Amino acid sequence: MQTYLRGRDLIGDLDFSKDEVETVLDVAFDLKRRRALNELHPLLRDKVLAMLFFFSSTRTRGSFEAGMAQLGGHAAFIESRTTQIAHGDTPKEIGEIFGRYFDGIAIRHVDWGIGNKYLNEVAKHSRVPVLNMQCDIYHPFQILADLMTIVEKKGRDLRRKKMVVSWAYAASYQKPISVPQSLILQMPRFGLDLVLAHPPEFRLMPEIMDQAQSEARRAGVGFEIVDDMDAAFKDADVIYAKSWGALVHTADEKQGAEIIAKYKSWITDERRMKLAKPDAIYMHPLPADRNIEVADGVIDGPQSVVYDEAENRLHVQKAVMALTLS
């Protein structure tokens, strides 16, 4: 166990070593146990977290607010449009000033080409930890919750388990690519053989792909890229299928929508789930476009773990906050 994470930022998935992520999981499981037993655990009494949102949220806001309260602290919800950011407050000002008001700064900023740069600039000028609630490149807390869920369902030894990270059709908008990118960075480190499936236009950032393949080689696990959803699902242990935008191909919303419309058949339905192993689990970070991205029979079916996955956001976030803000 790595026992000194105090003061650390968590912006990218590889900011924490594998051993440090193991520590986060150990603490998260302990905090989950304590909550189940109704044991008080005010590890961050009188600490205050700034939660700065540039992008709306359901699970992220709810889980961070609840988590800070359960740890004995307080989370201040701040929407960017209610601040003076549009009128001149720079990332330097936010880092310098919020770093003096608060004990930690959590930010969600997914604007393509902007979000991650913003978080890093705030962190450069902050004297307190900066936590990434999702940017345009990474979604580390979602992936920590995903990893915790997979460990709960498949055991701590994940070697020889096949995980599919697949694009899926959704017509709502060009969704961020941060979830699949974080998945392919983190999961190989824990022994999962990874298959990444997507149509040609939905490739991920080349530098992230290089890092992910390097992590897979280091861990001695498989990393395959395919453009066939059926082939990817075959004999899988874990199915993680969600939509993301063709942002690396084009950031234009109209062009992106036209590309997305070409692949309406990329849906996770009961037929596809039967291609995976009988005990395969279905995962999604939510919200999902029902009967477009995933069939009701899958997301509401016995193989779905989406609500356990959503709950585990609470526990891993509490673990990271307890370790970094205390």
Q: What would the pLDDT profile of 98-130 be if each residue is shown by its tens digit? A: 999 999 999 999 999 999 999 999 999 999 999
**Domain annotation covers residue 201:** yes
Q: Is residue 149 part of a domain?
A: yes
Contact 183, 155 (CB under 8 A): no
Judge whether residue 229 has pLDDT over 90. Answer: yes
Do 134 and 191 sit in the same domain of this protein?
no
pLDDT digits (tens, 9 = 90+) for 70-83: 999 999 999 999 99
The CATH number linked to 96 is 3.40.50.1370
Same-domain pairing of 206 and 284: yes
Q: What is the mean pLDDT of residues 53-58?
A: 92
Q: What is the pLDDT of residue 276?
A: 98
Q: What is the pLDDT of residue 3?
A: 84
Let me know whether 224 and 246 are in one domain: yes
Say whether both 284 and 195 belong to one domain. yes
Domain membership flag for residue 243 = yes
Q: What are phi and psi of 158, to 5 degrees?
A: -100, 5
Tell whether 70 is covered by a domain.
yes
Domain that includes residue 271, residue range: 142-309
- 63: in domain: yes
Whether the predicted pLDDT of 210 surpasses 90: yes
Q: How confident is the prediction for the chain on average, in pLDDT?
A: 97
Say if residue 180 is in the same domain as residue 300.
Answer: yes
Residue 3 in domain: no
324 with 6: CB under 8 angstroms?
A: yes
Residues 152 and 295 in one domain: yes
pLDDT tens-place string over residues 178-198: 999 999 999 999 999 999 999
Q: In terms of domains, do 146 and 100 share one?
A: no
Which tokens belong to 235?
């004999």
- The pLDDT of residue 326: 86
Task: Choose the weakest-confidence range: 57-66, 164-173, 233-242.
Answer: 164-173
Q: Are residues 163 and 246 in the same domain?
A: yes
Q: Give the mean pLDDT of 310-323.
A: 98
102 and 251: one domain?
Answer: no
pLDDT at 42 over 90: yes
What are the pLDDT digits (tens) for 254-306? 999 999 999 999 999 999 999 999 999 999 999 999 999 999 999 999 999 99
Res 300: pLDDT: 98
Q: Is the pLDDT of residue 172 over 80?
A: no
Please list, in sequence order, all residues whose beta carbon lies within 8 angstroms of the beta carbon of residue 75, skipping any fewer than 6 positions away.
48, 49, 51, 64, 65, 67, 68, 69, 106
Percent of the chain with pLDDT over 70: 100
Total of domains in the chain: 2
Q: If pLDDT is split at 50, 70 and 90, which confidence band does 171 have?
A: confident
User: Considering the domain boundaries, does residue 147 fall inside one?
Assistant: yes
Distance between CA atoms of residues 151 and 4, nearest Å = 24
Same domain, yes or no: 274 and 294: yes
pTM of the predicted model as reported, rounded to 2 decimal places: 0.97
Residues 165 and 133 in one domain: no
pLDDT in tens, 15-40: 999 999 999 999 999 999 999 999 99
- Return the SS3 of 238: strand
106 within a domain of the structure (yes/no): yes
Q: What is the DSSP letter of 58?
A: S
- Which pLDDT band holds residue 314 (cuts at 50, 70, 90)? very high
Could you tell me if 122 and 31 lie in one domain? yes
Q: What's the pLDDT band for 56 if we cut at 50, 70, 90?
A: confident
Q: For residues 237 and 167, is the Cβ–Cβ distance under 8 A?
A: no
